[in-house]
């Protein structure tokens, strides 16, 4: 069963590849619209998210908070869980952008649109309409709609099947007790059920973190001004920042250097020493199975191709570089993000210019920088 769970790995998606009109998706909800669910948002300055996205007006209920408007057809329990995570990411993204001098005045007042499906099948149909590969995602932020889209993780077919097997095993336990079976047989089945339940719950938690918090971070950072509204953003920066938000961070002045254990494990595996003590062989160089940093920074759209066999490692490398910059060059990271946001969309930078822009903020991207970065990764401990 663990292998089946592990087979469903979520690849977060940020589809920001073209211009978005300023203010799209950020219109506020009029007072009195928040809190209670309904078929729409009464008094809203614009239609509820599901209506704006072309879905029937009576198809969803709409719940408004101070920061989000969520169109959903799920249970109150699922909605509460999602809202809690969304609000947490919003607070963290706001603190980060403020601390790094990125926040554009007034953007924190906008209300962001979210669409939450209760059924995985409905999510898949909608994702395909938006050109997303639903088979490898647990949610997405779509630049054109400026809306984040999610589904109830427990409705995923993999999880439904695992839940069914757990329930079947519990029925077997009841039968064994009725038959007064041997205690060891009951205890063995109880242990197995407990293992399956722990694996299922842990996977759901991981899926919620990697998908929901990652995509919510994209939405908040995008709207707060951490990224350009045009196709000029280095994909390693966009994805690396979102990966930072996959793990709970403390409100500590926007530093956010808590370690993402899953991404760190992927990086160390690529380096050739998952325990932190190994190293890469001479044939692969100092970065092992990772992309050399100069090439990584120079290739602005490197993470855009989600069909790459090494895409999970690239995401992990993006997290690792952003984590290092946060820890060692925090102020420069803010300046770098602002410089990208202000780029001329009519003239995308070439590879050499991307490196020059990086070095203008962080210093020479040479072997010494790369060694310092790898040493930083070697010393990190998973939280």
Residue 40 lies in a domain: yes
Statement to judge: residues 214 and 96 lie in one domain: yes
Q: What is the pLDDT of residue 26?
A: 35
Same-domain check for residues 131 and 162: no
CA dist., res. 135 & res. 125, Å (int): 11
The range of the structural domain enclosing residue 182 comes to 157-198
- Cα–Cα dist 303/235, whole Å: 6
**Res 221 pLDDT > 70:** yes
For residue 252, tell me if it sits in a domain. Answer: no
Residue 7 near residue 1 (C-beta atoms within 8 A): no
On whether both 162 and 149 belong to a single domain, the answer is: no
Domain count of the fold of the chain: 3
On whether both 313 and 347 belong to a single domain, the answer is: yes
81-115 pLDDT tens trace = 999 999 999 999 999 999 999 999 889 889 999 99
Residue 256: predicted pLDDT: 77
pLDDT digits (tens, 9 = 90+) for 170-204: 999 888 888 877 788 888 889 999 999 998 898 88
**pLDDT tens-digit map of 3-54:** 433 333 445 544 443 333 333 333 333 433 456 555 444 444 579 999 999 9
Q: Going by C-beta distance under 8 Å and a sequence separation of 6 or more, which residues neighbour residue 296?
A: 236, 290, 302, 317, 321
Answer whether residue 72 is part of any domain: yes
């Amino acid at each position: 069963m663990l292998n089946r769970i592990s087979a469903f790995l979520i690849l977060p998606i940020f589809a920001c590849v073209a211009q978005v009109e300023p203010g799209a998706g950020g219109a506020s909800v009029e007072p009195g619209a928040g809190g209670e669910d309904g078929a729409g948002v009464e008094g809203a300055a614009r239609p509820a998210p599901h209506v704006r996205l072309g879905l029937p007006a009576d198809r969803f209920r709409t719940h408004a908070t101070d920061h989000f408007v969520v169109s959903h057809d799920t249970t109150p329990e699922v909605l509460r869980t999602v809202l809690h995570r969304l609000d947490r990411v919003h607070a963290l993204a706001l603190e980060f952008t403020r601390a790094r001098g990125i926040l554009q005045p007034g953007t924190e007042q906008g209300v962001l649109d979210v669409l939450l499906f209760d059924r995985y099948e409905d999510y898949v149909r909608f994702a395909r309409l938006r050109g997303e590969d639903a088979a490898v995602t647990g949610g997405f932020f779509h630049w054109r709609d400026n809306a984040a889209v999610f589904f109830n993780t427990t409705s995923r077919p993999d999880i439904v099947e695992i839940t069914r097997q757990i329930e079947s095993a519990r029925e077997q336990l009841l039968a064994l007790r009725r038959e007064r079976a041997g205690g060891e047989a009951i205890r063995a089945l109880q242990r197995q059920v407990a293992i399956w339940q722990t694996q299922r719950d842990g996977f759901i938690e991981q899926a919620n973190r990697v998908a929901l918090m990652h995509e919510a971070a994209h939405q908040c950072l995008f709207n707060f001004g951490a990224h350009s509204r045009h196709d000029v953003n280095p994909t390693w920066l966009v994805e690396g920042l979102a990966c930072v938000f996959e793990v709970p961070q403390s409100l500590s002045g926007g530093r956010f250097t808590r370690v993402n254990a899953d991404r760190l494990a992927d990086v160390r595996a690529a380096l050739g020493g998952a325990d932190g003590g190994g190293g890469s062989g001479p044939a692969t160089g100092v970065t092992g199975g990772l992309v050399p940093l100069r090439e990584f920074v120079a290739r602005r759209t490197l993470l855009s191709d989600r069909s790459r066999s090494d895409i999970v490692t690239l995401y992990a490398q993006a997290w690792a570089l952003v984590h290092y910059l946060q820890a060692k060059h925090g102020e420069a990271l803010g300046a770098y993000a602002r410089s990208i946001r202000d780029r001329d969309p009519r003239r995308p930078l070439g590879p050499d210019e991307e490196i020059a822009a990086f070095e203008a903020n962080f210093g020479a991207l040479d072997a010494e920088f790369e060694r310092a970065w790898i040493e930083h990764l070697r010393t990190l401990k998973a939280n």
